[in-house]
Chains A and B, each alone.
With several copies, the nearest count.
Chain A
């Protein structure tokens, strides 16, 4: 688990805030060394910092959110799982030839109850990211996910999925192992499962690779997470023929939690700690746990048939057209 002690890597728009916080620390230190009482000034400065923080984090542009969603210090699937579970046993393998480190899963105890948790897993540093393929799952990853979901279904365990990927892996092997088939299969089969399914976009929700573990009774999304049909970079390259137009594409594509809530795609936005989940992962984990438990509470009241129906209706109603 990343702790708050570690300084996060700095994003451009975070700089004024971090500068101010640094100044406050410095002043406090000097005052202490010299035995000066500057309580009032510090208080003022901290209010200023809070306002600045609010100003920044409540007005993030879609591209800024994308930067936060992709922040290397943002808590990953395994970070969250370990933080919110009483017990966690990671299970491996698709039983077909591979164990994809970019999509992890296993059995956990959440507030005393067995559940299956799984999600895309990005790396923490460059080496880890290479091993995890930057969270871009291979067909075997989606098949492992399905195997674990079938396991959950067999033993009556709710399924919690965590979405955090730039997209499914695009490569020769991925094609030959059937990336399309693997995702498609999950899309269909997730509608069949009896147990409650809650999907949460914790960071970057990228296209079909995200949706491949994204069919649930409920879709939650962190405040600064994004979920998009194509990365703004790819979209800009294709539609604008100019990758530098990615920020515009990010706006046009409506990728923020707030956009998706109003499009009827999301069920719930999970508010992040004041400076984003990457600045307070433990608090973010608490918020996630609370959101999951509250939704689980509601879903376990229903019959499996009711859950399948709300799951289908949830997607059934998405789309806008004229008559």
Chain B
């Protein structure tokens, strides 16, 4: 967006009545930044990868768009798209889980909360998983666990680095312990990937919490976070209730985690692809001394 366009936007947004604004927003032509509240052309916001050019705020990005942002055109090969969630516990709270799934699938056009596939980043092959917060808050059920595990196993056998864009509210309670166990399953797959001397980079986006934080989000060789993303194990409200006092504003932000040593580097989304390409090219797989473990990893992986 040029400076002139920007002034133009400001003028326009100033002159718009509230109703008019709302209509334009709902039309999708204009978007309002959820941080600085300025109005921008949705098209321009998209072109800037959903990062507000006014204040730098990173709006949530859904999985389709994220794949477009990261993967070179025409190199994306989606994997395991045929995996659909089921309702193994016949779970029913205020609504049946099966109904919830059907509704969410219809509303989002997604089958579950992660998309996985192989592709290239500036010509370098990668195995990429992208979580999607729209699908039940990016919660991790059997399908998320299975798709990520298969992705990692495939990367191990193909000697590809793994990149996972994380965003999640945590476990999917409607799948009970099956959900919790996915944490271990994915971590196990990462152990074999690691033993094969390969690179794993999780990208922590807003918000990354609960079981995802306590498993693959924190297991990267290099851990990247997006600016100001909320990242934590326990929910902020849970902790506030226990303490009976308000927490500092930067608590559980990417910056707070960097300060406490759990994030390697904070990278603005607009720089992400370039930086990933650089990091991947710096890490070429080397032969490992743990050849036995590597052998096992090969034997176990599916392809």
Contacts and interface: CB of A to CB of B under 8 A. Distances in A.
Interface string B173-212: 1111111111111011111101101010000000000110
Interface string A201-234: 0000001100110110000000000011110000
Contacts of A178: 218, 260-262
Contacts of B190: 188
B191 A192 contact: yes
Nearest to B240: A172
Nearest to A323: B82
Contacts of A93: 258, 260-264
B67 interface: no
A172 B247 contact: yes
A140 B284 CA distance: 28
Contacts of A311: 188
B184 A238 contact: no
B91 interface: yes
Contacts of A318: 142, 145, 178, 181-182, 185
Using C-beta atoms within 8 Å of the partner chain, give the interface range for chain A: 35 or more
Interface in B237-279: 238-239, 242-243, 247, 251-252, 256, 258-265, 275, 278-279
A124 to B, nearest CB: 21
Interface stretch (A22-30, A84-92, A273-281): A84-92
Contact of A263 (B88, B174, B183): B88
Interface of A: 87, 89-99, 107, 109, 114, 140, 144, 151, 154-156, 168, 170-172, 174-181, 183-185, 187-189, 191-192, 194, 207-208, 211-212, 214-215, 227-230, 235, 238-241, 248-249, 252-255, 260, 263, 265, 305, 308-309, 311-312, 315-316, 318-323
Interface of B: 82-86, 88-89, 91-94, 142-143, 145-146, 149, 171, 173-185, 187-192, 194-195, 197, 199, 210-211, 213-219, 221-222, 232-235, 238-239, 242-243, 247, 251-252, 256, 258-265, 275, 278-279, 282-284, 286, 289, 292-293, 296, 300
